[in-house]
Structure 1
Amino acid sequence: MRESLEKMLAKGVDNSLLRFGLGKAWLDEGNGAEAAVHLARCVEQDPKYSAAWKLLGKAHQLQGDLAAARKAWEEGIVAAQAHGDKQAEKEMAVFLKKLNKTSG
């Protein structure tokens, strides 16, 4: 899956959906650094993509960058609220609450 998405990117296809797919694939493989690169590009291309914000936070958390995870989820909540994505908003609020408990 990831290989075919990377081939598309190499051919010049670059959009938020492709970047989301690549970010998710890298995250599924446990590579937060690569995932964060693609997910950050995804939200640059589509700042309202709340699912991408959610995964971007996860990617940063996986790398141990809790400040970046917090920032991604905070921005993601704003994006989710802006277009009524209640589920993503709730999930990111839970992630933030857990993060705040563990990081003090």
Structure 2
Amino acid sequence: MSRVRDNLETMLARGQDNALLRFSLGNLCLQADDAAAAVTHLEQATSHDPDYSAAWKLLGKARLQAGDAPGAGDAWRQGIAVAERRGDKQAAREMAVFLRRLDREA
């Protein structure tokens, strides 16, 4: 485990739980090919802040890497709705591309 991930896990254990911390942990887990842990952290990130479009985007990637294609699609659809509502056009476009690729592979 990386030193950064260890430090973030320590913060979490101390009760400093928030969307950014969970997003950061999810991202590090995904980079370390620990998709299951990434999904857990990113689901918590979206629970803390349902309008966090970057967390929805990464949650979709983590679910796909974990073998949950339907869950990935659900995350991206929710993320697109959030991004469009917040005016985050780039994130909405990126997730739409991921969703189209997923639909083509299905």
> RMSD value over aligned CA atoms?
0.5
CA distance in 2, matches of 1:78, 1:84: 10
Task: Give the drift of 1:31.
Answer: 1.1
Give the equivalent residue in structure 1 for 2:65.
62
Report 1:5-84 matches (<5 A).
5-84=8-87
How high is the TM-score relative to the length of structure 1?
0.97
TM value normalised by structure 2: 0.96
* Structure-1 separation of matches of 2:50 and 2:85: 10
**Aligned residue identity for 2:37:** E
Q: Identity of aligned pairs, percent? A: 51
Name the residue aligned to 2:95: 92
| Unmatched segments (≥5 aa) in structure 1 | none
**Which structure 2 segments of 5+ residues have no match?**
none
Give 4+ residue runs of structure 1 displaced > 4 Å after superposition. none
Aligned residues: 103
